[in-house]
Amino acid sequence: MTINAGSEATDPWALLLATDWNSVDHCCPDVAPETPVILAGLLDDDENVQRRAVRDLGHAVTHQNSIYSATAPAARFVIAVLDHPRTMTPGTYFHDERCRPLRAALLEWLGDLADEATYDEDGPGEPEDVAAVRAVIPLIYEAARSHFAEADLLIRESAVYAAAMTLAVPKLAVHIPELEPLVRNTLSASEYGGYRYMAKRCLVTWGVDPGPLPDPWVSDPEAMDPWKEGCSDDPPF
């Protein structure tokens, strides 16, 4: 299957095979599956394998919001598979307890990654690893933008969130006027408190009056915790 990513067509399996995974690593190579195994699992025919793979993606490839040498190539693969039919597998992923398609969770992971890579000057990782992720951020924006019109509301929310998180990159800030109404009308109205909070954060950061928005906080603080699902901060997962 060949998927359009920006102006170029990308075969995700060719991308997986072309990457020298022996030269990169994630946080827990002795415990979690190898990165290509995690990535291939995202498209497995077994839905339980898919759900474990997306959990491992968050817990190993971006463990505790950190960036590793395997993170950027993993992000490129995730971008390439967003339109794959297997990403419509429903489930509860990460810290959003709503049942939603895997595609929504992958878009959210990309948005989280863009936010982590740009939140401060140094970034949460080795300089070369952070730089590699920052080079992928324009691709994240384009991939997210292509899902703004998805029929599924939860995918649209994640797409708007992912795109909004990329706009800290100066050359992407030109898209703020396009994203502002989407953030205001989609994220601020989300049932998920984390998105409502991020909507307010984005609007304030962009110098836009957020106006009357729903309460950005959820009643249960654990609902904001990405380590919910009974996982500890330490391996094994």
Q: Are 109 and 62 in contact (CB under 8 A)?
A: yes
Q: Which two tokens stand for residue 147?
A: 């899902």
Cα 185-76-153 angle, rounded to 5 deg: 25
Q: Give which of 92, 169, 106 is closest to 138, Cα–Cα.
A: 169
Share above pLDDT 70 across residues of the chain, in percent, rounded to a whole number: 81
Query: Residue 4: pLDDT above 70?
Result: no
The secondary structure of 133-166, three-state, reads HHHHHHHHHHHHHCCCCCCCHHHHHHHHHHHHHH
pLDDT at 11: 78
Alpha-carbon distance of 189 to 184, in angstroms, equals 8
What is the model's pTM?
Answer: 0.85
Alpha-carbon distance of 38 to 61, in angstroms, equals 9
Q: What average pLDDT does the segment 77-100 reach?
A: 94
Q: What average pLDDT does the segment 76-88 reach?
A: 95
Q: Residues 42-59: pLDDT tens digits?
A: 999 999 999 999 999 998
Q: Residues 14-23: pLDDT tens digits?
A: 888 888 888 8
| Own/partner pairs, 168-171, CB within 8 angstroms, 24+ separation | 168/114, 168/115, 168/118, 168/119, 168/205, 169/118, 169/134, 169/137, 169/138, 171/138
Q: Are 39 and 53 in contact (CB under 8 A)?
A: yes
Q: What average pLDDT does the segment 135-145 reach?
A: 97
The DSSP-derived string for 112-135 is: HHHHHHHSSSS-SS-HHHHHHHHH
Please, which residues bridge with residue 90 across strands?
Answer: 101
Q: Residues 185-213: pLDDT tens digits?
A: 999 999 999 999 999 999 999 998 877 66
Query: Residue 38: pLDDT above 90?
Result: yes
